[in-house]
Chain A
Amino acid sequence: MKKKRFGLSMSLLLTAGMLLGGCGQAKEEPKKEEGKASEFSVAMVTDVGGIDDKSFNQSAWEGLQKFGEENGLKKGKGGYDYLQSQSDADYATNLNKLVRNDFDLIFGIGFLMTDAITEIADQKPDNKFAIVDSVVEKPNVASITFKEHEGSFLVGVVAGLMTKTNKIGFVGGMEIPLIEKFESGFRAGVKAVNPKATVEVQYAGAFDKADKGKAIASSMYASGIDVIYHAAGATGNGVFSEAIDLKKQDPNKEIWVIGVDRDQYEEGKVPGTDKSVTLTSMVKRVDVAVYDLATKTKDGNFPGGQAVEYGLKEDGVGIAPTTKNNVPEDVLKKVDEWKQKIINGEVKVPTTRDEYKQFEASL
């Protein structure tokens, strides 16, 4: 069995090598491949967030760790590893560093890495790359994107059904197409179940400004908004801290936050109680996607040049399991109904503001 796989990956590597055109390194190749077939190595470059950002960098690293542990790899060269970027000038350097350390598959985490990956993929046609949250059309790059709009639609349904004031807030990080997907899907979800509700949208302009998140949340809650969905990374931590502060002053106040990327139930815990202000979280399983792609590549099925999109159907996005703590059964049932409709294709969730307008008109 082992021999078979060895032979298979050997031949696959050879074909890949031939397809990509012998680049004059034939002498070194055979030696390397022998090592590679038994020890697959994989690494990732984080953006400035780092692997403890409580968001997608952390999630990606969790996926990679799981892959490494299951395959008996060691952390470090020849196993699985990560490099953290201190500034955007470091993306290219870090990616190149991993290429030089002979990693078989290299992930760039985040849309900010798009330019760097595009450039390096051209320069190093023999290496395999993957990018999360962006699409790079190169034969040696696999792109992973998520249907964040679908997951956001579901938390929008929760928000629309749970709001008492019919006023809902959305706090975005930077105003970029990616976050627009969150915004449009969320607004569509709210409108679909509660046409009377209004959604106020505000952008903080950064993913790492918790103070701005707190200020926006403060004004939103003061204006009668009772549910805020944040798609703002660490800026969203400010939304949580404002909600927790308000809850501490008046434990009966009904205000909620909807988390993003990972299950943020813990972030919403009110100290001294067992309650959390987190109504639900839109989870984006970067870990699953990273794990999947690493496994595929290890088995010789690297989807180079393809863009894999993870949606509700693939369990790539969805609502967090802890949602049941704060949301009643009948609402969850409604969420499930909508989920099925999206998976069946009955509902097409908008991804941009223009599509949202059409969606609103069609209701």
Chain B
Amino acid sequence: MSENRLTNILVPVFAVILGIIAGAIVMIVSGYDPIAGYSALLYGAFGDRYYIGETIRQVTPYILAGLAVAFAFRTGLFNIGVEGQLIVGWLAAVWVGVAFELPKVIHLPLAIIAAGAAGALWGFIPGFLKARFRVHEVIVTIMMNYIALYVSNAVIRSVLSDQGFKSEKIHPSASLRSEFLQSLTDYSTLHYGIIISLIAAVVMWFLLEKTTTGYELRAVGFNQHASHYAGMNVNRNIILAMVISGAFAGIAGAMEGLGTFENVSVKAGFTGVGFDGIAVALLGGNHAFGIILAAVLFGALKVGALEMPSAADVPTELVDIVIALIIFFVASSYLIRLVLTRFKKEGK
């Protein structure tokens, strides 16, 4: 068992290392200096307090999006709709942030709860369709992404603004930003959302590992028929899993709406955070703690990548290649497992 756990940790680590090495090879082949490239990347992610602030800011929604994907996955559902749930959460959070003027202790939690509720509703629909009519959740969630994108654009145009392209700024009482964090990180967009996302990770771990509901959810994920036979309500658990997953994604949207941007604007396309969340969950082994580590890695890669073109002349697209390679190696973990067991056998 403990050996198995060790392999579970080693596989993603090796995948990351292999991804970085393969990325270096790609850089050499295309005529760039990989050492300069990666040191620029490191500097751009952790080089000084401003960059650290930006990296943590980017990590925040990644953790929540990763949790959303992982939660559904542990129940045997593949939630591709995190992106859409994130968008409606973003919209709901900003809506509450703009429409009301309340003391901070009420306003901020209310905005976050609204975001979670909106995301949960967006997750409920595919969950219900799956439980009641056995419609595959992958198809429904993909379509719900587009509905979320265009509905929120329409709402921003007609309700939150006068045919404009963005909403007003939220009231300071709903904002996650703080002057203290800004002064700490030399005016980065770092906000208190990171604390919320870490709490969310603990909540997910506790819910899944320590409660009866969590046990049932995981049981449904392992084997629906066995769970049904054991007297669990499979349909109820499917809907519940999608609702909780959607709530995590909605709160990820609140992080963007209440922290990073403090408003919401008409989007021409998806933010990409929800889709990156799938990769985060995969790399993090669908475990709360693993997801935090994976989110830090992806956040650092994304923010650090911005430094690469100016400091090392390496195009930012290369980081997307590195990320893709890491995911490739995680997905093909069978290969790494094979090599690991072979090494172990030889060691014995």
Seen from chain A, the residues whose Cβ lies within 8 Å of a Cβ on chain B are: 76-77, 81, 83-84, 86-90, 92-94, 96-97, 100-101, 112, 115, 120, 123-124, 174-177, 205-209
Question: Chain B residues near A77 (CB, 8 Å)?
Answer: 310-311
Q: Which residue of B lies closest to A90 (CB)?
A: B306
Q: Least Cβ distance of A131 to chain B in Å? A: 16
Asked whether A174 lies within 8 Å of B306 as measured between CB atoms, the reply is no
Q: How far is the CA of A175 from the CA of B156 in the complex (A)?
A: 12
Contact among B48, B163, B187 for A124, CB-based, below 8 A: B187
What's the nearest-Cβ distance from chain B to residue A148, in Å?
A: 17
Contacts of B305 in A (CB 8 A): 86
Q: Which residues of B have CB within 8 Å of A120?
A: 187
Chain A residues with CB under 8 A of B260: 89
Shortest Cβ gap from A291 to chain B (Å): 21
Bound-state Cα–Cα, A89 to B60, Å: 13
Within the assembled complex, what's the spacing in Å between the Cα atoms of A214 and B138? 30
User: In whole angstroms, how far apart are the Cα atoms of A176 and B50 in the complex?
Assistant: 33
CB contact between A97 and one of B157, B187, B189, B307 (< 8 Å): that residue? B307
Which residue of the partner chain, among A81, A89, A174, contacts B58 with CB atoms under 8 Å? A89
B163 touches A93 (CB 8 A): no
A81 to B157, CA, bound (A): 35
6 CB < 8 A contacts A-B: A76-B313, A86-B302, A96-B54, A115-B166, A123-B187, A174-B268
Please tell me if B289 contacts chain A, counting CB pairs below 8 Å: no
Q: Measured between alpha carbons, how far is A97 from B305 in the docked complex, in Å?
A: 12
B164 touches A115 (CB 8 A): no
Give bound CA distance, A163 to B58, whole Å: 52
A123 and chain B: residue at smallest CB distance: B187
Q: Provided the pairs A100-B50, A176-B165 are in contact, do residues A207 and B307 lie with their beta carbons within 8 angstroms?
A: no
Residues of B within 8 A of A (CB): 44, 48, 50, 54, 58, 153, 157, 163-166, 182, 187-189, 256, 260-261, 263, 265-266, 268-269, 271-272, 302-303, 305-307, 309-311, 313, 316
Q: Is there contact, CB below 8 Å, between A174 and B266?
A: yes
- The number of A-B residue pairs with CB atoms under 8 Å apart is 66
Residue from B310, B311, B316 whose CB has the most chain A CB atoms within 10 Å? B310
Closest 3 CB pairs of A and B: A206-B268, A123-B187, A176-B165
Determine the chain B residues whose CB is within 8 A of the CB of A176 once the complex forms.
164-165
**In the complex, chain A residues whose CB is within 8 Å of the CB of B188:** 96
CB distance from B188 to the nearest CB of A (A): 7
The reply to whether A76 and B310 form a contact with Cβ atoms under 8 Å apart is yes
Q: Tell me the complex Cα distance, A207–B267, Å.
A: 11
Residues of A within 8 A of B256 (CB): 89
| With A93-B303, A115-B263, A206-B268: A86-B187 Cβ-Cβ less than 8 Å | no
> In the complex, what residues of B have CB within 8 A of residue A81's CB?
310
State the CA gap A209–B270 with chains docked (Å).
Answer: 13
Q: Is the CB of B187 within 8 A of A96?
A: yes
CB distance from B98 to the nearest CB of A (A): 15
Residues in A neighbouring B271, C-beta threshold 8 A: 87, 89
Contact present for B50 and A205 (CB under 8 Å): no
Question: Distance (Å) between the CB of A18 and the closest chain B CB?
Answer: 23
Q: Tell me whether B54 and A93 are in contact (CB under 8 A).
A: yes
Q: Considering residues A115, A123, A177, which has the most beta carbons from chain B within 10 angstroms of its beta carbon?
A: A115
Whether A96 pairs with B50 at a CB distance below 8 angstroms is: yes
How many whole Å from A178's CB to the nearest CB in chain B?
A: 9
Q: Closest approach, in angstroms, between the C-beta of B178 and any C-beta of chain A?
A: 14
A123 to B272, CA, bound (A): 29
B310 surroundings in chain A (CB, below 8 A): 76-77, 81, 83, 97, 101
A112–B267 alpha-carbon span in the complex (Å): 11
- The complex places the Cα of A123 from the Cα of B271 at a distance, in Å, of 26
| Measured CA separation A76–B314 after assembly (Å) | 12
Q: CB-CB < 8 A to A96: which residues of B?
A: 50, 54, 187-188
Q: Are A88 and B306 in contact, CB atoms less than 8 angstroms apart?
A: no
With A174-B165, A175-B163, A176-B165: A93-B306 Cβ-Cβ less than 8 Å: yes
Nearest Cβ in chain A — how far from B314, in angstroms?
A: 12
Residue of A nearest to B154 (CB): A205
- Rounded to whole Å, the gap between the CB of B50 and the closest CB of chain A is 6
Interface pair A208/B165, CB less than 8 Å apart: no
In the complex, the answer to whether A94 meets B306 with C-beta atoms within 8 Å is yes
Provided the pairs A81-B310, A96-B188, A97-B310 are in contact, do residues A207 and B268 lie with their beta carbons within 8 angstroms? yes
Q: How far is the CB of A46 from chain B (nearest CB, A)?
A: 11
**Best-buried of A120, A175, A209 by chain B (most CB within 10 Å):** A175
Residue of A92, A93, A96, A174 most packed against chain B (CB within 10 A): A93
Q: Which residues of B contact A93 (CB under 8 A)?
A: 54, 189, 303, 306
User: Which chain B residue shows the least CB distance to A114?
Assistant: B166
